[in-house]
A = this chain, B = another copy of it.
């Protein structure tokens, strides 16, 4: 017996994934620095010792959790964007992903992890590397959408790199407000600010009322 929340012992890979998921949950809830391996272990239905058994050290666990999250986020994003037909729709989806919380996890919670992520990147070189890559990927996404839009004639001929830097930074800044639940800049406002900027710079028409082309409502 001893049927735990975790159920089957499972393979090594499953266990790792399970712990990383648990770690992510705890990080999201308590914040990076206040995440204890005991918490993660409990969430995964496992002893603290086992967590150390898999991840040599606490720091390694948390770092890998961040990396894991980053990868997951990027994969989901890329897949979603690829499904949309026009560059405009893709750009809109990209901005929406950055601004509009989805039911998935608690609203606001999932954004907070980015703040921890950035703060951690400032001192932990391991995390800093992950972030650097993450940001480059993100800008590359923007670049490729803009380039596509320019080829199809949807977008004006702006300087791509400059636009990517600007939009990426703007979205980061908006993400901060959303994560901290700013009273002035709520998610919808942020979304509209982002889209208005993009539409203005790239010269395509966009009306704020109609939320998302791939309307989720």
Contacts and interface: CB of A to CB of B under 8 A. Distances in A.
Interface of A: 30-34, 112, 115-116, 118-119, 121-123, 128, 131-132, 135-136, 139, 162, 165-166, 168-174, 176-177, 179-180, 182-185, 189-190, 193, 196-197
A126 to B, nearest CB: 13
Contact of A31 (B30, B119, B176): B119
A75 to B, nearest CB: 23
A131 B177 CA distance: 10
A69 to B, nearest CB: 16
Given A165-B193, A184-B136, A185-B165, A123 B31 contact: yes
A184 B115 contact: no
A196 B118 contact: no
A169 B185 contact: yes
Which of the listed residues A112, A139, A165, A179 has the most CB atoms from chain B within 10 Å of its own CB? A165
Contact of A116 (B119, B132, B166, B180): B119
The 9 A-B residue pairs with the shortest CB-CB distance in the complex, in nearest-first order = A169-B173, A33-B33, A173-B173, A172-B173, A119-B119, A115-B119, A112-B122, A170-B170, A169-B174
Given A30-B123, A118-B176, A122-B180, 15 more contacts: A31-B123, A32-B33, A32-B119, A112-B123, A115-B119, A116-B119, A118-B180, A128-B180, A131-B180, A132-B182, A132-B183, A135-B182, A166-B193, A172-B177, A173-B174
A169 B179 CA distance: 13
B31 A122 contact: yes
Contacts of A162: 193, 196
B122 A197 contact: no
A196 B190 CA distance: 21
